[in-house]
Structure 1
Amino acid sequence: MTETTRRAVMFGAGGAGLAAVLSACASYGSPVAEPAADTDDSLDEPVEEESEAPKKKKKQPKALADTSDIPSGQGKIFKNQDVVITQPSEGEFRAFSATCTHQGCAVASISNGVINCPCHGSQFSIEDGSVVQGPASEPLAEKKINVSGGKIRLA
């Protein structure tokens, strides 16, 4: 009879120890609950003071070019920014990816109203980036620009 009682005690103690270990592991890595927000009205004052502070103006991205740098009926390639800026007609500026849609070569020149890819001879319109001559079958992706104060910036 003593042997059965010992087993029962040992088994019970082992089970309690296992339960303690498992409960400790269950909370490991769990986020700690944030304390509830205090509703004291005095805490609202700094927030109101911050909201009355003058707002900072957003910095504009650096200009890629002056509008005078892009001749009418032509364009300019900005390799580092992967963009081609064109001026299809006086005062109208457009921007496209400088990566050919055929096999990913960088376009290299602009002449006679087309953007030229040197790899396989694809040509794209300076007006809308559409394919003028293949093997490319997709137009150049259009990029958004802002033209303001004689400066051209990526949007």
Structure 2
Amino acid sequence: MLEHIRPPRRAVIVGAGLGALATAAAACSSADTPSAPASESPAAASPTGAPASGALTKTTDVPVGSGVIVGDTVITQPTTGVFKGFSSVCPHAGCNVNAITDGKIICPCHKSEFNLDGTVAQGPAKKPLEAKAVTVQGESIVAG
């Protein structure tokens, strides 16, 4: 009589984990190449007026006296033509700011507020938002 052979539970769990890891690695390694032609500058605006590949946003999308949050970057325009960039991570507890209202950058976790130049307007945060370099190239705002 043959006994039923059962693999150890740990081997099944480890095998499933390795399979999931291999699937994730394969998904991450797929070729994601920019679709912009090599002759086009990464900051050049597209014919539709949308920011080109590599651009964070268009200058016209950032209101004077306010700003926008693009991914992990906050871009403000405190005065006409002056653009500033900051990390979206609040220095108080590491939450991401999520709104810009009435000239203030707002963190939802503990209600810290920052001015459009990144300085603390209202705590509990004691440090300003970390500055991130942004530059204007044509009608686009790019990192760096």
Q: Give TM-score, length-normalised by structure 1.
A: 0.59
Gaps of 5+ in 1: 1-55
Which residue of 1 is the match for residue 19 of structure 2? none
Moved over 4 A (4+): 56-59
Give, in whole Å, the separation in 1 of the partners of 2:93 and 2:122. 14
Alpha-carbon offset, residue 78 of structure 1: 1.2
Alpha-carbon offset, residue 96 of structure 1: 0.4
Give, in whole Å, the separation in 1 of the partners of 2:90 and 2:100. 13
Does the 8 Å contact 2:100/2:106 carry over to 1? yes
Residue 70 in 1 paired to residue 62 in 2?
Answer: yes
Alpha-carbon offset, residue 60 of structure 1: 3.7
Q: How does 1:6-21 map to 2 (within 5 A)?
A: none
Q: How does 1:34-73 map to 2 (within 5 A)?
A: 60=42, 62-73=54-65
Gaps of 5+ in 2: 1-37, 44-53
Residue 91 in 1 paired to residue 70 in 2?
Answer: no
Residue 104 in 1 paired to residue 133 in 2?
Answer: no
Percentage identity across paired residues of the two chains: 46
State the SS of the aligned residue for 1:138: coil
Alpha-carbon offset, residue 73 of structure 1: 0.6
Higher helix share: 1
Does the 8 Å contact 2:57/2:70 carry over to 1? no
Q: Cα RMSD between the aligned structures?
A: 1.8
Give, in whole Å, the separation in 2 of the partners of 1:146 and 1:74. 17
Does the 8 Å contact 2:103/2:115 carry over to 1? yes
Give, in whole Å, the separation in 2 of the partners of 1:131 and 1:57. 42
Alpha-carbon offset, residue 57 of structure 1: 8.2
The count of corresponding residues between Structure 1 and Structure 2 is 97
